[in-house]
């Protein structure tokens, strides 16, 4: 994964850069195609903000996390959020490609069965 990091209102540090690379290189294993990520790390008053734009083939993810007083926590939460979004996208693709539409219809019919509807 190609990661570009931009710092706003904060001094760049090697430990912060290595933490970002460590967290987001783990996500590269989940992706099928080569990915590009633009990470923006900034500080506004007491808020530490981590923002990412991730592009990988058809997957385009934008996420933003704001945490008070701890940039590392903001990056950790942001990577977890992106991981969930990737997993959600892959699950949707897997269901779509496997023909999981029948199971969706069965679930709808089960919910709308006469036993559950009062009337």
Model pLDDT for residues 68-100, shown as the tens digit of each residue: 989 999 999 999 999 999 999 988 888 877 765
Superfamily of segment(s) 2-111? Ribosome hibernation promotion factor-like (3.30.160.100)
pLDDT at 114 exceeding the cut of 70: no
pLDDT at 109 exceeding the cut of 80: no
DSSP for residue 112 = T
* Nearest in space to 41 (alpha carbons), one of 74, 82, 68: 74
Query: pTM value?
Result: 0.76
pLDDT at 53 exceeding the cut of 90: yes
**Per-residue confidence band for 30, with pLDDT thresholds at 50, 70 and 90:** confident
Cβ atoms 67, 47 nearer than 8 A: yes
**Continuous segment of H or E residues that includes residue 95:** helix 71-97
């Amino acid at each position: 994964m190609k990661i570009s990091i931009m710092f706003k209102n904060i001094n760049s540090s090697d430990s912060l850069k290595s933490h970002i690379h460590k967290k987001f290189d783990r996500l590269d294993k989940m992706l099928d195609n080569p990915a590009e990520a633009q990470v923006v790390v900034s500080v506004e008053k007491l808020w530490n903000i981590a923002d990412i734009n991730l592009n990988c083939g058809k997957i385009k993810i934008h996420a933003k996390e704001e945490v008070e007083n701890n940039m590392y926590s903001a990056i950790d939460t942001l990577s977890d959020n992106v991981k969930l979004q990737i997993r959600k996208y892959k699950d949707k693709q897997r269901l779509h490609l496997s023909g999981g539409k029948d199971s969706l219809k069965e679930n709808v019919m089960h919910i709308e069965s006469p036993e559950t509807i009062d009337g």
